[in-house]
């Protein structure tokens, strides 16, 4: 791992409960890594835009109140910064995702619809990738699967999970069917993922008795710090995202 670009320092620099400071630190990191970006301001926030292309990879820089937001979503930002070192990707880092995707909705107002959107959420804890929401077969979905299979990372697919959204949601609501989310999760909790996708009420009922799994204990909580994440998981996510990027850009 010595030759790899370390991603945990990026997470540590961004994490924190002050959304304004998180944005400032993100801009500092982009300048430090010599990544050109544009700021698109709107009435209540700022989106960060990097590169151009028809396949858009996205994350968000805001967090919920009182949560340091290390996994949600500083980990995804770290992975996207790593991606820019490997590929000339089109990237958007949105504001106010936690307020039902305000930033991504503002982006849609100003830009042509991309060919596909891949949102990254919580990329720093686990060893297996989740693809969601998978509600119909699509050619580009097969390319995402191929990218993950190529590096032999296990993955699970989930349909729409009740009460969960990400920035892909805004694009879906705007009519783009080729919009999904990737989330790194512990393989030990894959049964929960299946149940949330296929039997959500039963899964929630089960959690009331057995307690929250580790992954969800950190979600939107004060426990969402870099101490709960690992460099190994971040590097696995980056490897997966690069492979997915390559497959999505591979000509037929």
- Rg of the chain taking only CA atoms, in angstroms: 17
Please give the model's pTM, rounded to 2 decimal places.
Answer: 0.93
φ, ψ of residue 14 in degrees (nearest 5): -85, -35
Q: Where are the domains of the chain?
A: 8-248
Q: What is the pLDDT of residue 1?
A: 40
Average pLDDT over residues 233-252: 96
Query: Per-residue pLDDT tens for 149-189?
Result: 999 999 999 877 666 789 999 999 999 999 999 999 999 87
**According to CATH, what is the number of the domain 8-248?**
3.40.630.10
What sections of the chain are H helices per DSSP? 8-14, 19-32, 75-86, 102-110, 139-150, 168-173, 190-198, 200-210, 214-218, 231-248
How confident is the model over 35-94, as pLDDT tens digits? Answer: 999 999 999 999 999 999 999 999 999 999 999 999 999 999 999 999 999 999 999 999
Better-scored residue on pLDDT, 156 or 24: 24
Q: By CB neighbour count within 10 A (0-12 exposed, 13-18 middle, 19+ buried), where does 164 fall? A: middle
pLDDT for 2 beyond 50? no
pLDDT, one tens digit per residue, over 205-241 is 555 555 556 767 788 899 999 999 999 999 999 999 9
Question: pLDDT for 102-138, tens place per residue?
Answer: 999 999 999 999 999 999 999 999 999 999 999 999 9
């Amino acid at each position: 791992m010595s030759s790899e670009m370390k991603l945990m320092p990026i997470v540590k620099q961004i994490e924190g409960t002050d959304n304004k400071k998180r944005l400032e630190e993100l801009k500092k990191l982009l300048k430090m890594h010599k990544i050109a970006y544009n700021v698109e301001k709107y009435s209540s926030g700022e989106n960060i835009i990097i590169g151009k292309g028809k396949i858009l990879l996205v994350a968000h820089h805001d967090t919920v109140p009182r949560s340091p937001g290390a996994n949600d979503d500083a980990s995804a930002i770290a992975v996207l910064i790593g991606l820019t070192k490997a590929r000339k990707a089109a990237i958007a880092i949105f504001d106010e995702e936690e307020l039902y995707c305000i930033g991504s909705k503002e982006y849609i107002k100003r830009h042509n619809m991309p060919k596909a959107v891949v949102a990254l959420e919580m990329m720093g804890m686990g060893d297996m990738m989740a693809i969601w929401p998978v509600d119909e077969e699509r050619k580009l979905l097969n390319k995402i699967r191929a990218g993950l299979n190529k590096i032999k990372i296990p993955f699970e697919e989930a349909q729409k999970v009740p009460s969960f959204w990400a920035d892909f949601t805004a694009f879906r609501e705007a009519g783009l069917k080729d919009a999904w989310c990737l989330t790194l999760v512990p393989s030990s909790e894959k049964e929960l993922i299946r149940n949330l996708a296929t039997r959500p009420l039963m899964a929630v009922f089960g959690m009331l008795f057995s307690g929250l799994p580790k992954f969800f204990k950190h979600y939107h909580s004060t426990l969402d710090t870099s101490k709960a994440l690992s460099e190994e998981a971040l590097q696995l996510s980056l490897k997966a995202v690069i492979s997915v990027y390559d497959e999505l850009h591979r000509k037929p």
